[in-house]
C-alpha cells in the first residue's frame, strides 16, 4: 500500500515538474520573440493584445500565423488581411519556432490572468515638452554612431533612415523610422530595441543588448524628429563625396604627370655625367 502511495506521489511530482518546465519554456520563448510587439492583458502595442487569443483563434491558425503571417496573407486569409489593415500594413515577421515551441507559448499565455478588455487601452502619453534636450542629443548621437553603444551594437543609421535634415541619409535595409513613435508607440519602439523581433536586428545585436538609458534616448530622439518634421529630406552626401573623389583623383593624376615630365627631362646617365664632372 505504501509502495502504491509512493508511486502515485512520484507521478504527481513528475507531472507538476513537467508543467512548470513547460510554463518556464513558454515564458522564455514569449519574452524572446513576442514581448516586443505584444502584451498579455496590458493593451495593444505594435500587434494585438494576446490575452485570451487561444480562445479566439484555432490552434492551427495561430501556428500558421506565428510561423509565417505573410504566407497566410498570400493565401487570402481574411483574418490575416484584416489584421494587416488594422495595424497599418505592419506584417508580423516569420518566427523560427517549432509547433511545440508555439504550443508552449500559447500555454504560457493561457495561464496569464490578463484582461482581454484592455486591448484598446491607450498608451501613456509623453509630451514633447517632457523630453530633455540632453537625452534627445544622446539619442541622435547613438543613432548616427557619433557615440557608440555601451555593449558594441551597430549604429541605427546603418540600416534605418530618418527623414530629417539633421542627419545624413541612412541605410535602406530596414524601414524608415521617421514616424515610428506615433505608429508603434513609445513602448513599442522601446520593446523592439530591447527584444528585436526581426532576424537581421537579432543577429546585429546578439550579445550586445542596448541599455535602458540608451533605449530611452533613442525613443526620445525619434519622437522629437517626428514632431519636428518640416519636409526636409535627410542629407544625401553621395553626390558631394563623388565630386570630392573625382577632384582628388584629378589632383593625383596631375601630380604624377608632373613627376613624369621632370624625370623625362634628365636621364639617369645625364645625372651621373654631371656628378662626374663636378668631382673631376
Kindly state the helix (H) or strand (E) to which residue 274 belongs, with its residue range. Answer: helix 268-279
Instruction: Write down the pLDDT at residue 168.
Output: 80
Task: Decide if pLDDT at 111 tops 70.
Answer: yes
pLDDT band for position 17 (cuts 50, 70, 90) = very low
Instruction: Give 88-107 pLDDT, tens digit per residue.
Output: 777 888 888 899 999 999 99
Q: Which three cell numbers stand for residue 150?
A: 555601451
- Burial of 197 per CB tally in 10 Å (0-12, 13-18, 19+): buried
Cα distance between residue 89 and residue 84, in whole Å:
5
Tell whether domain 2-120 is in CATH 1.10.760.10.
yes
Instruction: Write down the pLDDT at residue 113.
Output: 65
Q: Which three cell numbers stand for residue 133?
A: 534636450
Q: 249 or 262: which carries more pLDDT confidence? A: 249
Cβ atoms of 179 and 185 within 8 Å: the answer is no
Say what percent of the chain tops pLDDT 70: 70
Cβ atoms of 144 and 130 within 8 Å: the answer is no
Task: Decide if pLDDT at 44 tops 70.
Answer: yes
pLDDT band for position 261 (cuts 50, 70, 90) = low
Cα distance between residue 201 and residue 156, in whole Å:
10
Q: Domain 128-227: which topology?
A: Cytochrome Bc1 Complex; Chain D, domain 2 (1.10.760)
Residue 25 has a CB neighbour count (10 Å cut-off) of 16
Average pLDDT value for residue range 48-59: 88
Instruction: Write down the pLDDT at residue 156.
Output: 92
Instruction: Write down the pLDDT at residue 262.
Output: 58
Instruction: Give 210-247 pLDDT, tens digit per residue.
Output: 999 999 999 999 999 998 875 555 454 444 445 556 66
Rg (CA), the chain: 30
pLDDT band for position 134 (cuts 50, 70, 90) = very high
The answer to which of 32-41, 168-177, 243-252 has the lowest mean pLDDT is 243-252
Average pLDDT value for residue range 174-193: 85
Amino acid at each position: 500500500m505504501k509502495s502504491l502511495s509512493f508511486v502515485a506521489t512520484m507521478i504527481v511530482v513528475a507531472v507538476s515538474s513537467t508543467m512548470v518546465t513547460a510554463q518556464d519554456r513558454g515564458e522564455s520563448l514569449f519574452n524572446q520573440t513576442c514581448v516586443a510587439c505584444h502584451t498579455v492583458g496590458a493593451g495593444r502595442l505594435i500587434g494585438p493584445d494576446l490575452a485570451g487569443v487561444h480562445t479566439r483563434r484555432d490552434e492551427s491558425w495561430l501556428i500558421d500565423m506565428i510561423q509565417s503571417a505573410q504566407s497566410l496573407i498570400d493565401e487570402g486569409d481574411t483574418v490575416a488581411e484584416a489584421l494587416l489593415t488594422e495595424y497599418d500594413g505592419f506584417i508580423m515577421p516569420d518566427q523560427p519556432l517549432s509547433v511545440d515551441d508555439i504550443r508552449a507559448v500559447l500555454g504560457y499565455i493561457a495561464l496569464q490572468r490578463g484582461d482581454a478588455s484592455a486591448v484598446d487601452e491607450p498608451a501613456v502619453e509623453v509630451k514633447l515638452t517632457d523630453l530633455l534636450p540632453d537625452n534627445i542629443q544622446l539619442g541622435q548621437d547613438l543613432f548616427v554612431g557619433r557615440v557608440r553603444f555601451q555593449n558594441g551594437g551597430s549604429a541605427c543609421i546603418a540600416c534605418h533612415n530618418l527623414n530629417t535634415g539633421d542627419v545624413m541619409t541612412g541605410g535602406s535595409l530596414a524601414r524608415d523610422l521617421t514616424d515610428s513613435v506615433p505608429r508603434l508607440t513609445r513602448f513599442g519602439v522601446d520593446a523592439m530595441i530591447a527584444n528585436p523581433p526581426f532576424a537581421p536586428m537579432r543577429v546585429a545585436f546578439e550579445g550586445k543588448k542596448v541599455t535602458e538609458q540608451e533605449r530611452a534616448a533613442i525613443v526620445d530622439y525619434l519622437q522629437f524628429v517626428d514632431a519636428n518634421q518640416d519636409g526636409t529630406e535627410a542629407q544625401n552626401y553621395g553626390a558631394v563625396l563623388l565630386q570630392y573623389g573625382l577632384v582628388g583623383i584629378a589632383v593625383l593624376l596631375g601630380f604624377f604627370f608632373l613627376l613624369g615630365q621632370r624625370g623625362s627631362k634628365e636621364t639617369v646617365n645625364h645625372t651621373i655625367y654631371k656628378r662626374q664632372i663636378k668631382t673631376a
